[in-house]
């Protein structure tokens, strides 16, 4: 009978075995709007505009990548990012890296870079990495 009492007490108090834990309960609360938009509010949001500009004329292809960055931080910053241009099937057509340095707080800078693209039709730009660092 003592053994039964000990077994009952061990079961009632738990035997300390953490190998099985209950599944977490589901909550019905949605994420807040702040959580849903947190990434774009970060340093990546400083890249205000990034697009292709087709300057081709008279049968000569002339396609550029153009951008605008606005430093929303409180310190002078350097920006670097990698990008790729892909077609509708996801095939990479070209890629590159860009750099803007010594951008003052609140300052906007515009930049451009030539590409080897033959057309902008069906081409999508993707940012594959983006970094802002303090410049001194």
Question: Residue 107 has what pLDDT?
Answer: 97
In a domain, 26, yes or no: no
What is the number of structural domains in the chain? 1
In a domain, 56, yes or no: yes
Tokens coding 35: 């959580």
In a domain, 64, yes or no: yes
In a domain, 10, yes or no: no
Residues spanned by the domain of 88: 43-134
CATH code for the domain of 99:
2.60.40.10
Question: Whose CA is closest to 110, among 56, 42, 53?
Answer: 53
Q: Between the CA of residue 59 and those of 56, 64, 80, what are the distances in Å?
A: 7, 16, 33
Question: Residue 2 has what pLDDT?
Answer: 54
In a domain, 102, yes or no: yes
Statement: the pTM of the whole predicted model exceeds 0.85: no
In a domain, 51, yes or no: yes
- Is there a contact between 103 and 71 (Cβ–Cβ < 8 Å)? yes
Q: What is the largest CA-CA distance in the chain?
A: 100
Report, as ranges of residue numbers, the positions in the chain whose pLDDT lies below 70.
Answer: 1-41
In a domain, 86, yes or no: yes
Question: Residue 43 has what pLDDT?
Answer: 85
Question: Residue 27 has what pLDDT?
Answer: 34
């Amino acid at each position: 009978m003592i053994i039964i009492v000990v077994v009952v007490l061990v079961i009632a108090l738990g035997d300390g075995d953490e190998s099985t834990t209950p599944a977490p309960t589901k909550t019905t609360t949605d994420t807040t709007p702040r959580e849903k938009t947190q990434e774009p509010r970060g340093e990546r949001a400083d890249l205000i505009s990034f697009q292709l500009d087709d300057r081709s004329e008279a049968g000569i292809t002339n396609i550029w990548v153009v951008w605008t960055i606005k430093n929303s931080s409180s310190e002078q910053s350097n920006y670097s990012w990698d990008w790729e241009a892909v077609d509708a099937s996801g095939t990479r057509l070209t890629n590159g890296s860009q750099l803007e340095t010594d951008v003052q707080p609140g300052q906007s800078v515009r930049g451009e870079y030539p590409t080897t693209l033959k057309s902008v039709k069906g081409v999508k730009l993707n940012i594959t990495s983006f970094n802002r660092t303090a410049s001194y």
